[in-house]
Amino acid sequence: MQLSSFQPLPRRQGIPPWVIWVGVVLLGLILLWPTMQGRELRRMAAQHRVDANWRPDYRLLPLLGLAHQQSVAQGGKLSPGQRDGLWAELEAYKGSYPVFFWLELAWLEARAGDDGRARRALKRAEADNPRLYLAMTKTRLWDPWRERFGLPPR
Amino acid sequence: MSIGKINSGGLGHPVAWAAGLAWALLAATRWAVVMATQEGGQCAVIWRWPPWWIPVLIGVAMWAVQLLAASWQQGWLVRQGVERPRARRMAGLAWLPSLALLLVPLAEFLPPVFGGSLAPLALSREAWPLAALAVAGAVFIQTRLAAPDLIRKREEQHHPWLAPVVFFLALALFAGVGARLTQESNRVGKFMGGDEPQYLFNAHSLAVDHDLDLAENIFLRESSYYLDPAKVIGGHGGWTKDGKWISKHRPGLPALMAPFYAWGLYLGQGPRKTATVALWLLAAWMVTEVFWLGRLFTKREGPALLGAAGAAVAMPGLIYSNLAFPEIAAAAFAVSAFRLLRSASPGQWGLLLLAGLLTAYLAWFHERFVILALLLGLYCLARGHWRSLKGLAAFYLPCMVSAWLLITYFMWLYGQPFPGQEIHAQGVYLNPRGFWEGLSGIWVDAGEGMLTYGAIWLAAVAGLVWLLRRRPGDGFWCLAMAGAVYVIAGLFADWFGGINPPSRYMVAAVPFMAVGLAAGAHWGPPRFMLFAAVLGALSLAAAAWVMHYPSAVYGHKLVLGQGLQFPLIDNLLPAFIFNYKTPQVNASLARIWMLLAGAALVAMNLGAQRYGPGRSLAGMALTLVLVATAGIAADRIGAGVLTYANPAQRVVLWNRLSDLPPGGGAWRLGAGTVEPKALMNLPLPPSRYQHGGAKSAAESSQALSIAAGVKPQLFVWGQYLALPPGRYRATARLASPYQGPEQAVWLDLSENKGKSVLLGRKLSGAQLQEPVVLEFQLDRWATNLEFRVGTTGLAPLTVQSMSITRLEP
C-alpha cells in the first residue's frame, strides 16, 4: 500500500563509482610500476642474473647490460677498471656472434671518450663478421662518431 | 496395478530388445584387435579376440544395462503423466535409433568379405565412441520429446555473478594450459615458435627503453631473457632512414604485454611467463565477451555458456591463450567493440568511445585487422549511431586519429601509407597455388584444419545460420566479421599461419563463431544439440591430445595422427602443407570433407521439436552411411587407410595387442595368403636419425655412410619410441670393407633418452657381414627408446637399414 504521495528517490546500489576508479588507477599504477623504472629495469634484470650466476658461459651479457645502463645514466662515464673487465670478458668469450658485443663495447668506449679503444673494438667487430659490422653500424647510436671513426654512412 | 508390472513394462516392446542387441553387439566386439593389411592388390583382416567369455560377458552386461535403462525410461515417462500403454510404446520406439549401431559391426565385417574398401572398418574401429554417443543422445532426445509437456518455456535469465565466474574459470583454464606448456617445455627445451620471439623482443624494448628501436637490444642480446643466449634474433626488422632498427611486427601486442613482461624482469623471473599472463587475461576477456554477446542475442544464459565454453576449450582458443601472437588480442578487442556497438543506444557516447578506442587499436595488432575495423565502422552506422553526432564522433574520432598515426608510422617505416606484400612470408599475399588450398585447408587440412582440431566449429557455423534466420541483423554482422577473417586468411599464401595447429589466422574469428553455438543451442532443434555434443566430444578429445603432446604444436606435424591405429587423419584428410607435389589429390580430398561438412550444416538447420524415432533412425543411419562413403572415396583418392607411414600408428596397434588378454581366437577375413607381417615391423630409416658426421649414402636415400677416422661416437640415435610391453627384435644391416677382428661398431638399445641401456653389442668387422639382431623383452612401457649405432672410426661404415619387429603376440 502506498502510504505517501511522494515517489521514492532512486538509490544507487553497490560500490560507488569513485571507489572503482580509484581502484582501477591504483591497479594500473601497480601494473605499470616496473615499466616506469625504464632503463633502471635493465640494470635490475642484469643484476638479478649476476647475483644468480646465470649461464657462466654467457656472463658477459649481464655485465654488458649493467655497463650499458651505467653509461647511459652517467653520461658515458665508465671506470677504466670496468672497461678493462669487459675487454677481458669479451676476449674470453666463446659463444656465438661476438660481433654484436664488440660493437657494444666500442660504443661504450666511444661514450667514455677513449677513441683509441673504441677503434680497436670496432676493428675486432669488423674482423669477426664484416657483413654484420656493416649492417649494424647503421644505427643512429653511432651518429656522433660516424665521421670520426670512418664508419659507413647510413 | 502391481509394482512389478510398472517396472517391467518398458521391456515388453520388441524395439527395446532389438536395440539392446545392437548395443550388446557393439560392446562385445570392441575389445578385439583388428589387423588390416594388404600385399599387392589383396588385403586381409585378422581379428584377434580375447578369450570368448570376455566379449560374451561384456555383451550381456551391456544388454542388461540397456534393459535397465529402458525400464527406468518407461517408468520416467509414466511419472511425467503419460498413460502406461502409450508410455510403453513410446519408450520402446525411442530406442529405434539404436538400430543404426548395427551398421558399425557390419561396416567392420562386410567390406573385407566382399573385397570392398577398408575405410569403413578403420573409421568404425577408431570412431565408434562418437556413433555410440550420437545414438545415446538420439534415444535421450526421443524420450524427452515423448513427453512434450516437459519442454518448458525457456525463461530469460540474468545472474550478475555469472560473467565474473566465466572470466575466472577461463583464466584458470588458460593458466592450466600455461602450466602444462611450461612443464613440457622444461622437458623438451624452450617452446617458442614463429614470430613469438619477435613480439617479445618488442615488448622488451618497450618495457626497458620505452621505444621501438631494437638496436640496443640486439647488441646486448636481450632476447636471452626468453631464448637460448646462443641464438640471435634481429626482430624481423629493418633500418629506418633515421637509423632505427624497427620490427616489421606491429607494436600493438607488445605494448599490451610490456607491463607484464617488465614484472618478470623486475622480479628476476622469466619475463616470457609473466608476459603470458597478459595473454591469459586477453583470452579470458574474449571468452567473457562471447558469454555477454550470446546472452544479448538469446536472452538466456545456458546457450551463452555453451558459446563461451566453445571459445575457451576448443582449439585454437585453448592454445592461443598462451602463444605470443596478436591473434587472441585481436579477437578480444574485435568482439568487445562489436558487443559495445550492439549494446549502445544512439548517443550513448561513453560506450561508443570505448568501442571506438578498441576498434582504433585493432590495426596496431596487424594491418590485416584493418578490415575488421572497417566492418565495425560500417556496423556502427548500421546500428543507427549516425543519429547522434556526439555518439558518432565518440566512435569515429579515435579511429581516424589511429588511422592517421598508422599511416604516419607506415610512411616512416616503408615510405608508403600501407605496407607492400614483400614483407609477407612468401613475398606475396595471394596464394600462388590457388585459393581452394587455403579456403578448404583452413577447415579440413590434416595438420592445420579448424574442423580437424575443433570439430565443434562446424556446429558454430550452423548456429550462425540459425542466428541469421532468427535475428537477421545480428546473424549477418557476426557472419561478416567471421567471414572476413576467414577470407583474408584463406586467400593468403601462408594460410596455415606458419606454425601451430589449427590455422592461427582464424583465432580472430573464434568469438564470432562461438556466438553461433549459443544461437544454435537456443533456436536450433534437438538435433543441433546432438551434433554439438558429438562434435564437442571430438573437439575435447583433439584438445586433450594436443595438450598431451604440445611439443608437436611447434612444428608442422600431424598431432592427431599419433593416437590412432589407422592413419585416418594422415591419409584420408588433405595435407596441403606437407605435400605440395600432389595438389590435385589434396584438393579432391578437401572437396570430399567440405561436402560432408556442408551436408552436416544443412542437417543442423533442419529438424523439429517433435517425437519421431523413425526419422531419427533414418537420420542416424544416413549419417553413418555418409561418413563411411566419404571415407571410402577418400581412401580411393588418397594414400588409403592401409598405408602406414607414421611409426606411432604401429605402436598404437602393438599397444592394443599388449592390452589384449591372451587365450582368445583369431578370425581371418579376406585373402588367405596375405599376412600382417608388415604391421609387426617398424622400419627406422637410418638417414632420418643420423647425427654427427654421418652422410646419406649414395646407394639408398634411407642408408647413411660414416667415413673412417672419425672420433668414436654415436651416429644414429633419436627415434624416441614409446613401446608397450612385449618381446621385440631389433635388426640392423651394416656394411664395411673392413672384415678384421678389431671392434668397428657398437649397437645398443636405450631408454629414457639414453639414460639407461637395455642391451648392447660390440661388433668386429667380421660380424658386419650378416644382419645384426638384438632380441629384448619389455616388461613395462618403455619411453624414449632408441636403437643407436656408434662407430670406432676404424673403417668406413654404411648403415643400410634398421628396424624393430614385434614378436608375437
Residues of chain A contacting residue B221, judged by C-beta atoms under 8 Å apart: 61, 97, 100-101
Are B115 and B34 in contact by the 8 Å Cβ rule? The answer is: no
Are B205 and A41 in contact by the 8 Å Cβ rule? The answer is: no
| A-B contacts (CB, under 8 Å) | 103
H or E segment and range at residue A93: none
Q: For residue B642, give how far its alpha carbon lies from the nearest alpha carbon of chain A (Å).
A: 47
Residues of chain A contacting residue B350, judged by C-beta atoms under 8 Å apart: none
pLDDT band at A27 (very low <50, low <70, confident <90, very high): very high
Interchain contact B160–A (C-beta under 8 A)? no
3-state secondary structure B4-64: HHHHHHHHHCHHHHHHHHHHHHHHHCCCCEEEEEEECCEEEEEEECCCCHHHHHHHHHHHH
Q: What is the DSSP string of B320-385?
A: HTSS-STHHHHHHHHHHHHHHHHHPPTT-HHHHHHHHHHHHHHTTT-GGGHHHHHHHHHHHHHTTG
Q: For residue B350, give how far its alpha carbon lies from the nearest alpha carbon of chain A (Å).
A: 15
The predicted pLDDT at position B304 comes to 97
Residue whose grid cell is 632380441: B775
| Residue B722 CB coordination number (10 Å) | 14
Amino acid letter, residue B51? P
Q: What is the DSSP string of B524-592?
A: S-HHHHHHHHHHHHHHHHHHHHHHHSGGGGSSS--GGGGG-SS-HHHHHS--TTT-TT-HHHHHHHHHH
Are B286 and B510 in contact by the 8 Å Cβ rule? The answer is: yes
CA distance B94 to B146: 8
Are B359 and B340 in contact by the 8 Å Cβ rule? The answer is: no
The predicted pLDDT at position B364 comes to 97
Are B543 and B315 in contact by the 8 Å Cβ rule? The answer is: yes
Nearest to B622 by CA among B594, B599, B588, B597: B599
Phi then psi for B751, rounded to 5 degrees? -115, 165
Q: Which residues of B152-166 are buried (b: 16+ CB within 10 A; e: fewer)?
A: eeeeeeeeeebbeeb
The predicted pLDDT at position B120 comes to 96
Range of the domain at A61: 39-145
- Contact state of A61 with B243 under an 8 Å Cβ cutoff: no
CA distance B240 to B244: 5
Which candidate in A24, A36, A42 is best for mutational testing of the B interface (most B CBs within 10 A)? A42
- Contact state of B243 with A138 under an 8 Å Cβ cutoff: yes
Q: What is the DSSP string of B227-287?
A: S-TT-----SEEE-TTS-EEESS-SHHHHHHHHHHHHHHHHTS-HHHHHHHHHHHHHHHHH
Which candidate in A24, A32, A35 is best for mutational testing of the B interface (most B CBs within 10 A)? A35
Q: Is residue A112 part of a domain?
A: yes
Nearest to B505 by CA among B225, B316, B679: B316
The predicted pLDDT at position B555 comes to 62
Cα–Cα distances (Å) from B570 to B108, B586, B653, B677, in that order, read 20, 11, 16, 21
Length of chain A: 154
The predicted pLDDT at position B697 comes to 79
- Contact state of A34 with B263 under an 8 Å Cβ cutoff: yes
Question: What residue of B is the nearest CA neighbor of A62?
Answer: B220
Interface of A with B (CB under 8 A): 31-35, 37-39, 41-42, 44-45, 48-49, 51-52, 55, 58, 61, 64-65, 68, 95-97, 100-101, 103-104, 107, 136, 138-143, 154
- Contact state of B243 with A31 under an 8 Å Cβ cutoff: no
Are A87 and A103 in contact by the 8 Å Cβ rule? The answer is: no
- Contact state of A39 with B208 under an 8 Å Cβ cutoff: yes
Residues of chain B contacting residue A38, judged by C-beta atoms under 8 Å apart: 208-210
CA distance A149 to B483: 56
Residue whose grid cell is 572470466: B167
Cα–Cα distances (Å) from B752 to B496, B717, B718, B806, in that order, read 34, 12, 11, 20
Residues of chain B contacting residue A142, judged by C-beta atoms under 8 Å apart: 243
CA distance B589 to B638: 7
Question: What residue of B is the nearest CA neighbor of A101?
Answer: B219
CA distance B767 to B733: 11
- Contact state of A140 with B225 under an 8 Å Cβ cutoff: no
Q: Is residue A28 part of a domain?
A: no
- Contact state of B265 with A39 under an 8 Å Cβ cutoff: no
- Contact state of A140 with B244 under an 8 Å Cβ cutoff: yes
Q: Is residue A10 part of a domain?
A: no
| Residue A148 CB coordination number (10 Å) | 12
CA distance B469 to B519: 10
Residues of chain A contacting residue B258, judged by C-beta atoms under 8 Å apart: 35
Q: What is the DSSP string of B674-700?
A: --THHHHEEE--GGGGB-TT-EE-SS-
Residues of chain B contacting residue A55, judged by C-beta atoms under 8 Å apart: 229
Residues of chain A contacting residue B272, judged by C-beta atoms under 8 Å apart: none
Phi then psi for B356, rounded to 5 degrees? -65, -40
Residues of chain A contacting residue B263, judged by C-beta atoms under 8 Å apart: 31, 34
Whether a cis peptide bond, with omega within 30° of 0, leads into B316 is yes
Total number of domains in chain A: 1
Nearest to B213 by CA among B234, B192, B227, B193: B234
Q: Is residue A11 part of a domain?
A: no
Nearest to A41 among B207, B215, B244 (CB): B207
Q: Is residue A34 part of a domain?
A: no
Q: Is the pLDDT confidence value at A125 over 90?
A: yes
Q: For residue B193, give how far its alpha carbon lies from the nearest alpha carbon of chain A (Å).
A: 21
Q: For residue B244, give how far its alpha carbon lies from the nearest alpha carbon of chain A (Å).
A: 6
- Contact state of B229 with A42 under an 8 Å Cβ cutoff: no
Angle between helices B196-208 and A17-36 (to 10 degrees): 100
Are B680 and B805 in contact by the 8 Å Cβ rule? The answer is: yes
CA distance B201 to B221: 10
pLDDT tens per residue, range A67-116: 999 999 999 999 999 999 999 999 999 999 999 999 999 999 999 999 99
Mean pLDDT by 10 residues, chain B (809 residues): 44 87 96 88 89 96 95 91 89 96 95 88 96 97 84 72 97 95 71 82 96 95 93 85 92 97 95 95 98 96 97 94 94 98 93 98 96 98 94 96 97 90 77 93 92 96 98 97 96 81 89 98 94 97 89 70 90 82 89 98 90 94 97 93 87 92 89 81 89 80 87 88 91 91 92 90 90 92 91 90 87
Q: Residues A124-133: contacts with CB within 8 Å, 24+ apart?
A: A124/A98, A125/A98, A125/A99, A128/A98, A128/A99, A128/A102, A129/A97, A129/A99, A132/A97, A132/A99, A132/A100, A133/A99, A133/A103
Q: What domains are there in chain B, each with its CATH number?
A: 3-151+609-651 (no CATH), 192-279 (no CATH), 283-551 (no CATH), 684-807 (2.60.120.260)
The predicted pLDDT at position A13 comes to 65
